[in-house]
Chain A
């Protein structure tokens, strides 16, 4: 697939941690509503690519264009603002604020954007219902199962209506049944709202939910569209 019409395009990304190179000239692009799986062995640079694409980490060199804006030239505050409004995130673990109830966790990105509590929690409840976790709305993350917790996290990532959802091993800590349910709900919801999904995973089973696969190896990304 060509970068033309892409929502997010990364070109020739380089990133080194200390003396260890994580990315060495990686390219990437994604279209609105597309689900792209980023695969690769452990330590290949998948997560670093995701962090660079999301503007969490600044690459040492290369460019990341989002909707016509160069992310690498934005300030920290501007990138944070972008993440709050346009991007959503799901991680493998440790992402829910333990002291807030599940519904408060889902409403948190809206509240950070200035939405009033009542409205934020109403929208959060709707998303929780959609992701089949409405019954745990008032429980704390420590009181729900791993699968439920991850669905709460997915609801939180989608509640702001992001244009891009970044999911880093979203099912890594779940059993296969729970993992599959989370993936079904996530991709279904994303496609309905035309949200692009960058899905980092090392499991082929999870990658199967994507439209396209990109393999990262030795810091370089290779589009597998033609291979598949």
Chain B
């Protein structure tokens, strides 16, 4: 019988008076503990390695988290340096100016940034990352784009770039390794063929680097997100420091037998933990460096960083280096508080003290007290922004820690009420929890914090999402793509539509060609005051998509009144009226070279209809039989394209067709809603963090469960000897995990809802519970537990072997 069993039943002896201990004694004891961490054979090493890996994982995650601000800043600096922002007034062409056109495109949902350029002189400014401006027909590409173009996957994309690659853009011209970017050279002659252009005399901007102040709700989301993601990591580190605790206690009992006093054994235990956590720091640093390299090659949801960008902030890294070993020692000492290590074994308090409720309640109440004054006051423009941010973070931390602190009390209080009723597995599980619910509660607490926080974030998230998601008015059922085709005249527009119609994967093209007309029957000195109206030319099929007409034949003309006119003489476009199609270079009606057209007397008035892009058109609508599109002097062509969804890559074929029409033309995919970019990035970051955190918690729970099983190896073998079925013990493991988890989830739902309500009040939003989010988060938490149980079953079955009965 173990010493543990033999002498327990007595109360722990009274604490002996603390003698004065020299620093040298402390150091010697700590060193002895450190020696035990490695010299106790395979078992010691196993425990030390488990602690080191556990602490290391936590440290690596903390170091990665502390690198995020620097990484984003460095990424932002490079993006700012290559910004090619047009100004209200372009610089005059000169030796040091360059003509640019935005030529960004999308390939299979990947955005590719591109600029076409033509230098005006000998010394044009060049963007960072390239050695010289590409000549006409030449192109610089980012390494990621080069890889894509060279791959089989990029075959279709190659058609879009009729340029010769002359080099790759270097690191300082890219935001991250997965940046898809190119600079292509065009001749001025090509630019002159209707390409939208602008000029710059320098790259980069000082102002672009300064981020706009974040929306308060988004700021709050980030603060709470960080708290939620990092708290479980801290809990995980605390759990890792206790790995193998029971075996260590027995080893310490042997030390007591040879003369070590209680305080000495505690110092030795602290030394052992300290060594494990210092090793953990080293492992964490190594994992961080490894993670940094991996992150350098990985793109997650469109965001990538260079390895060299992942640099932890110095104060945060120092805090991790000091706090992690210190917390490991504190956790060990606190864990030893409830037991007395005696020469003949470890005495645990036979009747464990009841957990106290008051301080556990105090934490969430304090958190609420900090959050309450912020209700309705976290809005933009409110004073004391920094102080409020800290207050919000502190409140959220206290509330979430409070939820964790309450968990052991709740588990203890609930399992105490379970009698010995129920099946054998249930009885084994509940009795085990009654004996010691601390280990189970600790394992679950990480999940509890993550779920509570995630529920709160989801609530805030749903509100912010509503705020940031705008209805575009676009109708993707009527057309899937929209292209603004730059054309020099109406004939080009007709050809462009024909090209789209002939493109693989296109089912139909709704093409409208527009130009402006002005009133001619006014005799004013200032032509800019002449009212203008748009003239849209399209076939009947296309017209039906933009105006409400019941019948239409080629040769018909329709009129739609504008809801409001900014000039005088509203409604000049009437049946039989003459209009002027001629405009000068400044865009004013040209009265000296009038080009007149008479609206047919048969033109009928109709109502407008929202087109597939969500826009409403007014003015004159003519079929080609009534107005020859080739007569439009300065038209704009809009193609709304219906795709044959059975053709793979239909969108890419259309984009390739567009690139032939103009290198700067982009095709827009129609979508009924749009989200703000900022919001999307934060959502992505939160999901990345939540996934990493849950995986970490899962790993910690697996280690804890396996350790528990290892401790009970002999007992499991005995149970097998007298015929216990595998299923009986498997169910008991499941119940033993499930009971604290269910209680933990219930508590986290309550805590999460409380925090969510507070956060919504803080940003002055109406209360709304995101039930789907709540169910998802609860499901994810439960899923992790199920996974942990499943993973622990094979080792459980392995340990249920009679070999465990062998003592020789």
A and B: interacting chains: yes
Q: Does B308 reach chain A (CB closer than 8 Å)? A: no
- Structural contact, A80 and B725, CB atoms closer than 8 A: yes
Contact with A along B580-612 (1 / 0, CB 8 A): 000000000000000000000000000000000
- Structural contact, B722 and A88, CB atoms closer than 8 A: yes
| CB of A56 to closest CB in B, whole Å | 4
Q: Which residue of B lies closest to A43 (CB)?
A: B808
- Structural contact, B721 and A56, CB atoms closer than 8 A: yes
A68 cross-chain contacts in B, Cβ below 8 A: none
Complex Cα spacing A62 to B17, Å:
64
Complex Cα spacing A17 to B358, Å:
57
- Structural contact, B4 and A51, CB atoms closer than 8 A: no
The one of A91, A100, A168 in contact with B427, judged by C-beta atoms closer than 8 angstroms, is A100
- Structural contact, A56 and B805, CB atoms closer than 8 A: yes
Q: Does B550 reach chain A (CB closer than 8 Å)? A: no
- Structural contact, A94 and B723, CB atoms closer than 8 A: no
Stretch at the interface among B465-473, B671-679, B712-720: B712-720
The one of B348, B424, B435, B806 in contact with A108, judged by C-beta atoms closer than 8 angstroms, is B424
Q: Does A99 reach chain B (CB closer than 8 Å)? A: yes
Q: Does A98 reach chain B (CB closer than 8 Å)? A: yes
Of A47, A81, A85, A100, which is in contact with the most chain B CB atoms at under 10 Å from its CB?
Answer: A100
Complex Cα spacing A117 to B421, Å:
8
> How many of chain B's residues have a CB under 8 angstroms from any CB in A?
35
Contact with A along B781-808 (1 / 0, CB 8 A): 0000000000000000000001001111
A142 cross-chain contacts in B, Cβ below 8 A: 4-5, 8-9, 348, 350
Complex Cα spacing A88 to B721, Å:
9
Given A94-B715, A112-B728, A143-B350, A84–B5 Cβ distance below 8 Å? no
- Structural contact, A47 and B431, CB atoms closer than 8 A: no
- Structural contact, A83 and B722, CB atoms closer than 8 A: yes
| CB of B254 to closest CB in A, whole Å | 17
The one of B2, B427, B802 in contact with A56, judged by C-beta atoms closer than 8 angstroms, is B802
Contact with B along A89-115 (1 / 0, CB 8 A): 101111101111100100011011000
| CB of B8 to closest CB in A, whole Å | 5
- Structural contact, A51 and B2, CB atoms closer than 8 A: no
The one of A54, A97, A98 in contact with B721, judged by C-beta atoms closer than 8 angstroms, is A54
The one of B424, B434, B722 in contact with A87, judged by C-beta atoms closer than 8 angstroms, is B722
A56 cross-chain contacts in B, Cβ below 8 A: 720-721, 802, 805
Q: Does B86 reach chain A (CB closer than 8 Å)? A: no
Complex Cα spacing A36 to B605, Å:
114
B2 cross-chain contacts in A, Cβ below 8 A: 93-94
| CB of B117 to closest CB in A, whole Å | 75
- Structural contact, B435 and A83, CB atoms closer than 8 A: no
Complex Cα spacing A92 to B717, Å:
13
Given A92-B807, A94-B714, A112-B723, A100–B431 Cβ distance below 8 Å? yes
The one of A108, A109, A157, A173 in contact with B1, judged by C-beta atoms closer than 8 angstroms, is A173
Given A83-B721, A112-B723, A112-B725, A146–B802 Cβ distance below 8 Å? no
Q: Does A42 reach chain B (CB closer than 8 Å)? A: yes
Q: Does A33 reach chain B (CB closer than 8 Å)? A: no
Contact with A along B392-435 (1 / 0, CB 8 A): 00000000000000000000000000001100100110011011
A173 cross-chain contacts in B, Cβ below 8 A: 1
A144 cross-chain contacts in B, Cβ below 8 A: 9
Complex Cα spacing A92 to B805, Å:
10
B722 cross-chain contacts in A, Cβ below 8 A: 83-84, 87-89, 109, 112, 157
Complex Cα spacing A220 to B255, Å:
41
Complex Cα spacing A90 to B714, Å:
13
| CB of B743 to closest CB in A, whole Å | 18
Contact with B along A29-63 (1 / 0, CB 8 A): 00000000000001100011001001011000000
| CB of A156 to closest CB in B, whole Å | 8
The one of B9, B421, B436 in contact with A143, judged by C-beta atoms closer than 8 angstroms, is B9
Q: Does A82 reach chain B (CB closer than 8 Å)? A: yes
Complex Cα spacing A70 to B715, Å:
28
A-B contact pairs, 29 of them (CB 8 A): A17-B806, A47-B806, A48-B806, A80-B720, A80-B723, A81-B723, A83-B722, A84-B723, A84-B724, A88-B722, A89-B721, A91-B718, A93-B5, A98-B715, A99-B432, A99-B434, A101-B420, A104-B431, A109-B722, A112-B723, A117-B427, A141-B5, A142-B4, A142-B5, A142-B348, A142-B350, A143-B8, A144-B9, A173-B1
The list of the 9 closest CB pairs from A to B, nearest first, reads: A84-B723, A83-B723, A99-B431, A56-B802, A99-B432, A99-B435, A94-B714, A143-B9, A93-B1
Given pairs A109-B722, A112-B722, A142-B8, 16 additional interface contacts (CB within 8 A): A42-B808, A80-B723, A82-B723, A85-B723, A91-B721, A94-B715, A108-B424, A112-B424, A112-B723, A112-B725, A117-B427, A142-B4, A142-B348, A142-B350, A146-B1, A149-B1
Write the residues of chain A forming the contact surface with B, with a CB cutoff of 8 angstroms: 17, 42-43, 47-48, 51, 54, 56-57, 77, 80-85, 87-89, 91-95, 97-101, 104, 108-109, 111-112, 117, 139-146, 149-150, 157, 168, 173
